[in-house]
């Protein structure tokens, strides 16, 4: 019997130790002031159109977990205006960090990040994420060429339809959203600026157009970035 209890106790201790080793470790707490030194990709948030119209500014504070590969997960709102918070969360989800190493092993960390929203002095615009317009200009090539909507429509390769906002559907809101857009020399949409359209429809239109891609616009044998306008239609299905 004593041998049985000794063997049982040893087995129980082994099971507890194994379980403790398999259990996920809590993320290591990292002070916010050390986080910027590890960031390798930072996506600028899109200023929500309704917040811009109301001239709402401020800082959104988020608590995030950075996984072992440097990706952000589980962003939680700590403080910030409710009209700014969703845009901040969406941007921070795309941030990437270098891996945090502890005892020669990558570990998950938890920290605080702050996302600032400030009304610019000039025209409101989305910050390009993939545009190469800031690279040195090639000789004789303009930085940005204004091209008609009809010409760029002919170069459109990939079009994403917007998701009809549920609230707009419930309130039977329809119409056209007109946008100014910048397209880089590879055909990617960067800046998106609202010209006109219902506030309930504008954010969905802007998100969709950001995913559009074009064939490059060629001027004098060289692909150049362009500025143009696009229209996004919202119409409810008729029975």
CA distances 223 to 20, 131, 185, 230, Å, are 59, 13, 5, 20
For each of the domains in the chain, give its residue range(s) and CATH number, in order of start: 26-117 (3.30.2420.10), 145-234 (3.30.2420.10)
Q: What are the pLDDT digits (tens) for 25-70? A: 677 777 766 555 578 888 889 888 888 877 788 888 888 999 988 8
Which among 38-42, 98-102, 201-205 has the top mean pLDDT? 201-205
Q: State the average pLDDT over residues 177-187.
A: 90
Q: Indicate yes or no: pTM above 0.85.
A: no
For residue 107, what pLDDT is reported? 85
For residue 124, what pLDDT is reported? 39
Q: Where are the beta strands (DSSP E) in 120-225?
A: 145-146, 156-158, 175-183, 189-196, 213-214, 217-219, 222-224
Q: What are the pLDDT digits (tens) for 114-166? A: 888 887 654 433 433 444 444 444 455 557 889 999 999 999 999 989 999 98
């Amino acid at each position: 019997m004593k041998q049985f209890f000794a063997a049982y106790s040893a087995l129980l201790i082994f099971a507890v130790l194994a379980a403790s080793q398999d259990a996920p470790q809590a993320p290591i707490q990292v002070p916010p002031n050390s986080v910027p030194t590890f960031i390798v990709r930072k996506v600028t948030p899109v200023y929500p159109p309704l917040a811009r119209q109301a001239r709402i500014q401020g800082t959104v504070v988020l608590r995030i977990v950075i996984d072992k590969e440097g990706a952000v997960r589980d962003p939680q709102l700590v403080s910030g205006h409710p009209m700014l918070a969703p845009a901040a969360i969406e941007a921070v989800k795309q941030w990437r960090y270098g891996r945090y190493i502890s005892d020669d092993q990558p570990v998950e960390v938890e920290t605080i990040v702050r996302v600032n929203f400030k009304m610019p002095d000039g025209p409101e615009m989305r910050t390009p994420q993939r545009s190469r317009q800031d690279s040195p200009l090639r000789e004789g090539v303009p930085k940005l060429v204004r091209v008609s909507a009809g010409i760029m429509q002919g170069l459109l390769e990939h079009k994403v339809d917007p998701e009809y906002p549920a609230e707009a559907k419930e309130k039977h809101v329809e119409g056209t959203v007109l946008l100014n857009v910048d397209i880089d020399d590879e055909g990617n949409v960067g800046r998106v600026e609202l010209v006109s359209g219902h506030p309930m429809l504008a954010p969905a239109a802007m998100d969709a157009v950001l995913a559009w891609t074009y064939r490059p616009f060629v001027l004098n044998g060289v692909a150049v970035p362009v500025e143009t306008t696009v229209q996004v239609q919202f119409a409810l299905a008729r029975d």
